[in-house]
Amino acid sequence: MPTPRETILAALHARLSVLSATTLRGEVLPERVPAGGLLILRDGDPGEPEVTLSPLAYHYQHRAEIEAVVQGTARDAAFDALTASIGAALAADRTLGGLCDWVEAEAPRPVDLPVEGASSLKAAVIPVILYYTTADPLA
């Protein structure tokens, strides 16, 4: 049985998978960026939890990351549309079906990356904060 952490990350991946961009989890950047863009979900860092006693509970602010990449001549518009679709997907269900207390993305810091012999990439890491509670730090 998967841990709550894995269940939450899988639910986030599933939520992103319905978008027009190709969505991967924990993969390396492929040689080609699909026309609809590319999202790579990184598990990130759960950080140090706040602990409450009686009953014992660990409250996390887990920082996952989404790498968003687009390529092409209209990459600015494509990147804007892709990040807006990520925001809309997260806003549609801030608890990922009740698995989290709250899910919130931070603003991206896009960069243009030149590619020899091809059009440039526009990419950013989008931090996503997952607020959840577990009964065990290894759960």
Task: For residues 69 and 51, give the distance between their C-alpha atoms in angstroms, rounded to a whole number.
Answer: 37
Whole-number average pLDDT of the chain: 95
Residue 132, both tokens: 């959840």
- How many CA atoms, within 13 angstroms, populate the side-chain half-sphere of residue 15? 24
- The whole-number pLDDT of residue 93 equals 97
Domain covering 4-134 in this structure, CATH number: 3.30.2000.10
Q: What was the pLDDT predicted at 114?
A: 85
139 has pLDDT over 90: no
At 8 the pLDDT is: 97
Predicted pLDDT of residue 115: 81
- Residue the block writes with tokens 């919130």: 104
Q: Determine the 3-state secondary structure of 25 from DSSP.
A: strand
Spatial separation of the C-alpha atoms in residues 112 and 76, rounded to whole Å = 9
pLDDT tier at 121, thresholds 50, 70, 90: very high
Judge if the upstream peptide bond of residue 2 is cis by omega within 30 degrees of 0.
no
In tens, the pLDDT along 4-61 reads 999 999 999 999 999 999 999 999 988 889 999 999 999 999 999 999 998 999 999 9
